[in-house]
Chains A and B, each alone.
Chain A
Amino acid sequence: MAQLLQHLINGLAAGTIYALVALGYTMVYGVLKLINFAHGDVMMVGVYMGYATAIGLGRQAQSSLWGVALIFAAAMLGCALLGFFIERFAYRPLREKPRLTALITAIGISFALSYGFQLDLGFKLPLPGGYELSLALPGASPRAFPEIIRPTEWLIIGDRDVVIWNWQVISFLIALGLMLVLQYLVYRTRFGRAMRAVSWDHRVAALMGIPTDRVIALTFMLSSALAAGAGLLYAIKDTSVSPLMGLYVGLKAFVAAVIGGIGNVPGAVVGGLVLGLVEEFVVGYAASTWRDAVAFGFLILVLLVKPGGLFGRVAAEKV
């Protein structure tokens, strides 16, 4: 029983992170009908932005409250900007082209980011006063992500039957907060209304005076910022960061989005949680080597039973 509870907690902690990344897939799919395969790699870039900020802050500052807030803010804002540029220069020119073109472009950006980040490029810029500004790509090898939240056991039940770590609680709360903000934004504000209208029919939305390009750009910025937040939580959990982490986490989150019904906001959350729990139980009760096989097998199972995902509606293609 205690073991079950422990797995439940671990699964939920992992699941909320998947859910956050899945929300990005789902929002972009909602407005553009584009599966943004670069989403996971945008997340990876965000993690490196957070990493750089943490290193820049130093050991003391990075684990203080304002330090953590600054790391999250830098990563999320930086990623929002990255998302804006990717949409503006890679996807927007292809808006009226066949959907496959944009999809291939997304895969291209994904690889450009994940492998571009492994290049050994960098330069040093001498600054007055003996300082030096050094900018460099991180290189191929994984790095340890600084402990911006020092792991502490917050709750121990019984004889270490169930242990809840502080980072699990904090990451769960941050993820929950971001989701609530998003929910509010999508269903209670003018921007959210515009987003839902664009998602339903962007041509009609434009004719009703909605600046569709701006809505789409903001959606990208929002989803990228969420990805950065999720990526940091993942890096805290995993205590490492590498250029290829985006491919892996991105793919898992994509699976989560599809399980929930892509394009559906609550579906992405449920999909993420379900995937996190499934993986945790496989690792806990079977073997960790089975984790990915079961995750993708579960996807196939869901699609066999409900082709539109758990919350999705199967829409007949309009002709």
Chain B
Amino acid sequence: MSAPVQVTPEAPMLEAAGVSIQFGGLKALTDFNLTIRQGDLQGLIGPNGAGKSTAFNALTGVYRPTRGDVRVAGQRVNGWMPHRINHLGLARTFQNIRLFRALSVLDNVKVACRAETLSHQEHWLPASLFIAALRGVGGVGGEKGARGGQRLGEQLIEQAGALVLQGWWRSLFLTPGFQAEEQRITERADALLEVMGLSHRRNEEARNLPYGEQRRLEIARALGTQPKVLLLDEPAAGMNTREKADLMVLIRKLRDQFSLGVLVIEHDMKLVMGICERITVLDHGEMIARGAPDEVRNDRKVIEAYLGDSYLESHGGAA
């Protein structure tokens, strides 16, 4: 019943190479490797505290890797601001739903929708001259001053650019360009709500939605950023059996419709085994197994560390 495994020849959209995260003496994640290409649907499982969410945080730029590299769309993004990593095409949802609860459902998605913007820093001569001038002024105080001057110049230009070119300024004057842009964003957000079956909730405050719909709204919001890779952190948590079944269908549909690579953290074994083509198992921050669902299910280490300890006990050997 599962979708055929697609071997895509394209370059990986998301790549983690030897990523380790350490908090003081605590090793939260050790030598984590992962590759996700367009069309992939992979799972990330492991007992509580195994480092799954830490891995998500390392990939999305919340934590900076202590060692190792994260690459998004071929770019090394270690230490980048999360919003820039997101702009490269990486979006996520959260284990404990983190919507903008006071905003309307529509606004939650619109917040994530970016307008097509001009690249205002490059190719604009006065800007380059201004930055060069500040670099020169700072250069009086040595190399460090020069770098500081350049950074300040870039930031000022960025602010000015944001005001003038990105429509935050234009919006004050209600120019046709601004209205058209706002219109496009609204249409895109509405389309996403439609896909996620949330159109009827459009104008409600996000906090008033039932749990399952909040989870779907989080996915809609993530899709608003036009990702190439979508990271879902326990998307089925708190859902009933019926909702979970729908969710499985939906995740596959999203992958195909939006040409995504998807990585799912999930505790529900039936869901993970049902939709993921490849599963990575973490325990105590280290990868202990990886492979197709059947391989992982029968892996000795996995049964010992994960199924043996908690799953088999609580589920009476359902696996």
Q: Which label, helix, strand, loop or mixed, suits the secondary structure of the A interface?
A: helix
Known A210-B83, A218-B162; judge A205-B111 contact (CB<8 A): yes
B171 contacts A209, CB within 8 Å? Answer: no
Within the complex, what minimum Cβ distance (angstroms) separates B117 from chain A? 11
Asked whether, in the complex, the Cβ of A209 is within 8 Å of the Cβ of B225, the reply is yes
Which A residues are in CB contact (< 8 Å) with B100? Answer: 196-197, 200-201, 204-205
A193 and B110 contacting across the interface, CB-CB below 8 Å: yes
Residues of chain B within 8 A of A214, CB atoms compared: 158-159, 162
Q: Which residues of A contact B114 (CB under 8 A)?
A: 209
Count residues of A near B (Cβ-Cβ below 8 Å). Answer: 29
Compute how far the CA of A200 lies from the CA of B158 in the bound complex, rounded to whole angstroms.
24
| Cross-chain contact A209 with B112 (CB below 8 angstroms) | yes
Are the C-beta atoms of A207 and B159 separated by less than 8 Å? no
Q: Does B123 touch A at the CB level, under 8 Å?
A: no
Q: Scoring A residues 109 to 149 as 1 if CB is less than 8 Å from chain B, else 0, what string do you get?
A: 00000000000000000000000000000000000000000
In the bound complex, CA of A166 to CA of B226 (Å): 53
Chain B residues near A204: list those with CB within 8 A. Answer: 94, 98, 100
Cα-based distance from A230 to B131 in the complex (angstroms): 33
Is the C-beta of A185 less than 8 angstroms from some C-beta in chain B?
Answer: yes
Cβ contact of B159, chosen from A196, A197, A208, A218, cutoff 8 A: A218
Tell whether, in the assembled complex, residue B83 and residue A211 are in contact, meaning their CB atoms are under 8 Å apart.
yes
Contacts of A218 in B (CB 8 A): 159, 162-163, 168
A208 in contact with B86 (CB, 8 Å):
yes
Q: Taking each of A206, A217, A221, which has the highest tally of chain B beta carbons within 10 Å of its own beta carbon?
A: A206
Could you tell me if A200 and B102 are in contact, using CB atoms closer than 8 angstroms?
yes
Assess the A206–B82 pair: CB atoms within 8 A. Answer: yes
Decide yes or no whether A179 CB sits under 8 A from chain B. Answer: no
A189 at the interface (CB under 8 A from B): yes
Collect the chain B residues with CB atoms within 8 Å of residue A208's CB. 83, 86, 91, 111-112, 221-222, 224-225
Q: Say whether A197 contacts B92, CB under 8 Å.
A: no
* Contact with B92, one of A193, A207, A211, A213 (Cβ below 8 angstroms): A207
What separation, in Å, do the CA atoms of A88 and B62 have in the docked complex?
21
Cα A84 to Cα B158 with chains together (Å): 12
Q: Return the contact of B182 from the options A88, A190, A197, A221 (Cβ within 8 A).
A: A190
- Prevailing SS type, chain B contact patch: helix
Closest CB in chain B relative to A202 CB, distance in Å:
10
- A217, B155: Cα distance in complex, Å: 10
Those 7 A-B pairs whose CB atoms lie nearest each other, nearest first: A191-B168, A189-B171, A209-B86, A206-B82, A208-B112, A200-B100, A197-B111
In B139-168, the 8 Å CB interface with A consists of 152, 155-156, 158-159, 162-163, 167-168
Shortest Cβ distance from residue A255 to the other chain B in the assembled complex, whole angstroms: 25
Is the pair B171, A185 in contact by a Cβ cutoff of 8 Å?
Answer: yes
| Cβ distance A147 to chain B, nearest Cβ, rounded Å | 30
Residues of B close to A200: CB separation below 8 A: 100-103
Complex CA distance for A84 and B178, rounded to whole angstroms: 25
- Give complex CA distance A217, B112 in Å: 19
Please judge, given known A-B contacts A209-B83, A212-B83, A218-B162, whether A88 and B111 are in contact too, CB under 8 Å: no
Nearest A residue to B161 via CB reads A214
Quick one: given A190-B185, A218-B163, are A206 and B171 in contact (CB under 8 Å)?
no
Q: Give the shortest distance, in Å, between A280 (CB) and chain B (any CB).
A: 33
- Please tell me which one of the listed residues A191, A210, A213, A221 contacts residue B171 in the complex, with CB atoms under 8 A apart: A191
The proximity string for B residues 103-118 relative to A, scoring 1 for CB distances below 8 Å and 0 otherwise, is 1000100111011000
- Confirm or deny: A181 has a beta carbon within 8 angstroms of a beta carbon on chain B: yes
Q: Determine how close the nearest CB of chain A comes to the CB of B111; give it in whole angstroms.
A: 4
B87 on interface, CB distance cutoff 8 Å = yes
Chain B neighbourhood of A213, CB < 8 A: 81
A189–B168 touching, CB < 8 Å: yes
Hey, what's the 0/1 contact readout for B63-89 against A, CB within 8 Å counting as 1?
A: 000000000000000000111001100
Taking A207-B86, A209-B86, A211-B162 as given, write out 6 further A-B residue pairs in contact, using a Cβ cutoff of 8 Å, ordered by the A residue number.
A190-B110, A193-B103, A196-B102, A196-B111, A200-B103, A208-B86
Q: What is the chain A residue whose CB lies nearest that of B109?
A: A208
Complex Cα gap A208–B82 (Å): 8
Verify if A203 is at the interface (C-beta below 8 Å from B).
yes
Q: Answer whether residue B172 sits at the interface, using C-beta atoms and an 8 A cutoff.
A: yes
Interface: B214 (CB within 8 A) = no
A84-B163 Cα distance, complex, nearest whole Å: 13
- When distances are taken between beta carbons in the complex, the residues of chain B under 8 Å from A201 are 98, 100
Residue B60 is within 8 A (CB to CB) of chain A in the complex: yes
Among residues of B, the one whose C-beta sits closest to the C-beta of A197 is B111
